[in-house]
Amino acid sequence: MSARAAITVENLAKSYGGVHALKGISFEVGRGEILGLLGPNGSGKTTTVTLLSTLQRPTAGAASICGADVVSDAARVRELISLTGQYASMDDTLTAVENLSVFGRLTGLRSARLRSRIDDVVEQFDLGGVRDRRVGALSGGMRRRVDIAAALITRPQVLFLDEPTTGLDPRSRAAVWDTVAGLRAEGITVLLTTQYLEEADRLADNIVMLDQGSVVASGTPGRLKQQAGAAVCEMTLADRADTGRVLERLADLEVIDAPDDSAASTTHPRVVVRAPDGMGTVREVIARLEAVRIDVIDIGLRQPSLDEVFFQLTETAR
Ligand SMILES: Nc1ncnc2c1ncn2[C@@H]1O[C@H](COP(=O)(O)OP(=O)(O)OP(=O)(O)O)[C@@H](O)[C@H]1O
Ligand SMILES: [Mg+2]
């Protein structure tokens, strides 16, 4: 364990009666890093955030923020961190600036100092155009930005963002991504939870994948993709009716993804198989499909996506 880590988690566990929400997880986040805590519904993401931000106490194990223990040194931890919860905590009836002011006051900022911090975050998050608009009238993405701005009004060392983009449309999501990426430049350590692989892949230096309260994988996005094994051969078929014949022809290859038979979809079906011999496998696949005159619109070799890694890992854990 490194004393210089921003977040250290060791065998952290939390049970609610008979529900073991976290079954002893361990990881570390370096200062200034962005960690993506990834997992499906109920995997323990919010529980981890509430323990690290001292909102609840662990059942077992330990965690610290910049060396301060979350149980024995909780007051110090609260000075070091800030949290944007899974459910936005803004007051809809107040304007953006009024909400920022409420947050600032809660953390002890007053008068000129408070006004100057509000101006700072309004500029940093490009909120000038909405400062005097009621938060209830803002788009989801803009609301999220006000929410993150409020969490940063105290200049925390460590920021927790619990599912910052869930429920946002792609454009708003991209705006929040820019905001989070900007925090890196400020040297703030960020732990963000997400259900979106793409989000973790884009933003995080390291990823911890949770499933049912346990860590199922961790590492850089690149390493996790490598861990998923050899490259894959992805093909798009011209005719959905060919799917069964294709799978028959490729029966000796590991199927990573194939269209669901029952799905009456109008899109061209996509089949993904493991390519242990790289381009050799792709050539072999083409030869076999040509031999039985199956039309392929597109075929190629690529690395497995984080999505495929995740499904593979959570499936083997079950
Ligand atoms: N206060 C509580 N009392 C009882 N069980 C709880 C409580 N809080 C969480 N749990 C349970 O702990 C498990 C983990 O929940 P948690 O909220 O941490 O998951 P999550 O990964 O944040 O999920 P989501 O993606 O839905 O937000 C779930 O089974 C949940 O039902
Ligand atoms: Mg949650």
Residue 265 is predicted with a pLDDT of 65
End residue of a domain, out of 199, 226, 253 = 226
CATH code of the domain containing 259: 3.30.70.980
How many structural domains comprise the chain? 2
Q: Which domain, by its residues, includes 285?
A: 232-302
CATH code of the domain containing 191: 3.40.50.300
Which backbone phi and psi does 217 adopt, to 5 degrees?
-170, 155
Q: Tell whether 101 and 237 lie within a shared domain.
A: no
Nearest protein Cα to ligand 1, atom 5: 16
Tell me, yes or no, whether 311 lies in a domain: no
Q: Tell whether 181 and 278 lie within a shared domain.
A: no
End residue of a domain, out of 226, 241, 271 = 226
Tell me, yes or no, whether 41 lies in a domain: yes
Which backbone phi and psi does 90 adopt, to 5 degrees?
-80, 155
End residue of a domain, out of 183, 198, 226 = 226
Tell me, yes or no, whether 218 lies in a domain: yes
Cα 213 to averaged position of ligand 1 atoms, centre (Å): 9
Q: Which tens digit of pLDDT belongs to each residue from 264-308?
A: 666 889 999 999 898 999 999 999 999 999 999 999 998 877 777
CB contact at 8 A, 58 and 100: no
Q: Tell whether 273 and 293 lie within a shared domain.
A: yes
50 lines ligand 1 (CB under 6 A): no
Q: Tell whether 37 and 16 lie within a shared domain.
A: yes
Q: Tell whether 41 and 180 lie within a shared domain.
A: yes
- What number is the average pLDDT over the span 2-20? 91
Q: Tell whether 94 and 203 lie within a shared domain.
A: yes
276 lines ligand 1 (CB under 6 A): no
238 lines ligand 1 (CB under 6 A): no
Q: Which tens digit of pLDDT belongs to each residue from 121-149?
A: 998 888 999 999 999 999 888 888 899 89
Q: Tell whether 254 and 213 lie within a shared domain.
A: no
Whether 1 has a pLDDT exceeding 90, the answer reads: no
Handedness of CA 245, 246, 248, 249 (dihedral sign): positive
Q: Provide the 3-class DSSP secondary structure of residue 266.
A: coil
Tell me, yes or no, whether 309 lies in a domain: no
Q: Tell whether 15 and 138 lie within a shared domain.
A: yes
Cα 44 to averaged position of ligand 1 atoms, centre (Å): 6
> In the numeric block, which tokens belong to residue 27?
């990881």
- What number is the average pLDDT over the span 57-69? 98
Report residue 170's pLDDT band, with 50, 70 and 90 as the boundaries: confident
Q: Tell whether 79 and 146 lie within a shared domain.
A: yes
- What number is the average pLDDT over the span 33-57? 94
Residue 56 is predicted with a pLDDT of 95
Q: Tell whether 109 and 201 lie within a shared domain.
A: yes
Q: Tell whether 244 and 211 lie within a shared domain.
A: no
Kindly give the number of the ligand 1 atom that is closest to the alpha carbon of 46: 22
Tell me, yes or no, whether 297 lies in a domain: yes
Kindly give the number of the ligand 1 atom that is closest to the alpha carbon of 50: 18
Average pLDDT, the chain: 89
Q: Tell whether 280 and 144 lie within a shared domain.
A: no
Kindly give the number of the ligand 1 atom that is closest to the alpha carbon of 48: 18
Q: Which tens digit of pLDDT belongs to each residue from 89-122?
A: 789 999 999 999 998 998 888 989 999 999 999 9
Alpha helix stretches (DSSP H) within the chain = 45-52, 74-80, 96-106, 111-124, 140-151, 170-186, 197-203, 221-227, 243-249, 279-291, 306-317
